[in-house]
Amino acid sequence: MEPILDIQNLDVKFALRTGEVTAIDNLSLSLAKGERLGIVGESGAGKSVMGFSIIKLIRKPGFIAGGTIRFRDTEISAYSEEKMRDIRGNRISMIFQDPMMALNPVLTIGTQMTEAIHAHMDVSKEEAERIALEKLARVHIPSPEKRLAQYPHEFSGGMRQRIIIAISLLTDPDIIIADEPTTALDVTIQAEIMDLLIELCDSDGMSLILITHDLGVVAEVTDRIAVMYAGRVIETGPTQAIINTPKHPYTQGLIKALPESRKPGEALYQIPGMMPTLTDIPSGCAFNPRCPMKGEICMTKRPEAALADEQTGHMAACHLVSGDLAS
């Protein structure tokens, strides 16, 4: 299927006083229409920087140093800031962990929604209100007419996130990038918001990029997963393949660390060590200091993505998968 978003060889760097560091390293990913893609990895893997790069919201000292980003059949990586505003918050929306950050506490929900509509669409006040009501109903907010006149503090955390999703839907976007959208919410509300995102993708043909450190959540929600480590995608494939037959020792560790993998009476597993900082990425495979299966070659040669399953496109950047290291 023709991808709606296609990222090729993306490099993002930060110009620090001590020199340039690479936050996203030669990343390639594509997203099909209606597809739900999960981006997982521990803190510092580069998930958020990747999400911001897609909508070109990388601020100094960060910059996109190379690669291409195609949205539909247009290359948007070369777009000016002005042209990008037609895409951002319009065709591609991004939502974050804390809905309060995105809402103005002194304006009613109705005002914020209609302002967002007028920023992208030339419609009357009445039409803007109609769209706002329709989207609030779309995200299952009860009594939307009454809710339009209320302020953000009058809503619960879960309801505020629904409002953010409603705002992100105002322009019927093609893609929603959701960066840890439920991390601040309790588990039941988290599941409701995830169900809502699935419903919106299924019914409206919208695509979703779900960024989270929680492999358990992406397993429930996504069709495909990309696992990131130190700015690279180290494994990608259909969700079931990643969960059931992970190939990269890092992904295997993430799965072992899931609460549901714990056996009764055992302590919760933790991958030893930490994600490297950008100024200190090990040579060879960046995961080598933490890898239980490393060999000589892992210390010196960086593994390229190798196909683990041709049919599904399951790939892993590991010398075990390429056959350079005997398992």
Instruction: Give the binding site for ligand ATP (CB under 6 A).
Output: 14, 23, 41, 43-49, 61-62, 213, 277-278
Q: How far apart are CA 92 and CA 220, in angstroms?
A: 23
Minimum distance from residue 96 beta carbon to ligand ATP (Å): 10
DSSP secondary structure string, 186-214? -HHHHHHHHHHHHHHHHHH--EEEEEES-
| Burial 76-96, CB ≥16 within 10 A → b, else e | bbebeeeebeebbbbbbbbbb
Nearer to ligand ATP, 156 or 277 (CB): 277
Minimum distance from residue 89 beta carbon to ligand ATP (Å): 20
Nearer to ligand ATP, 15 or 121 (CB): 15
Minimum distance from residue 23 beta carbon to ligand ATP (Å): 4
Minimum distance from residue 41 beta carbon to ligand ATP (Å): 6
Cβ within 8 Å of residue 70, ≥6 positions away: 3, 5, 6, 7, 8, 76, 77
Per the structure block, which two tokens stand in for 35? 């597809």
Per the structure block, which two tokens stand in for 109? 């929900």
Nearer to ligand ATP, 55 or 141 (CB): 55
Secondary structure class of 226 (helix, strand, coil): strand
Query: Which strand (E) or helix (H) includes residue 119?
Result: helix 109-120
Secondary structure class of 122 (helix, strand, coil): coil
Minimum distance from residue 62 beta carbon to ligand ATP (Å): 5
Nearer to ligand ATP, 53 or 90 (CB): 53
| φ, ψ dihedrals at 220, nearest 5° | -80, -30
Minimum distance from residue 71 beta carbon to ligand ATP (Å): 20
Nearer to ligand ATP, 16 or 121 (CB): 16
Nearer to ligand ATP, 155 or 229 (CB): 229
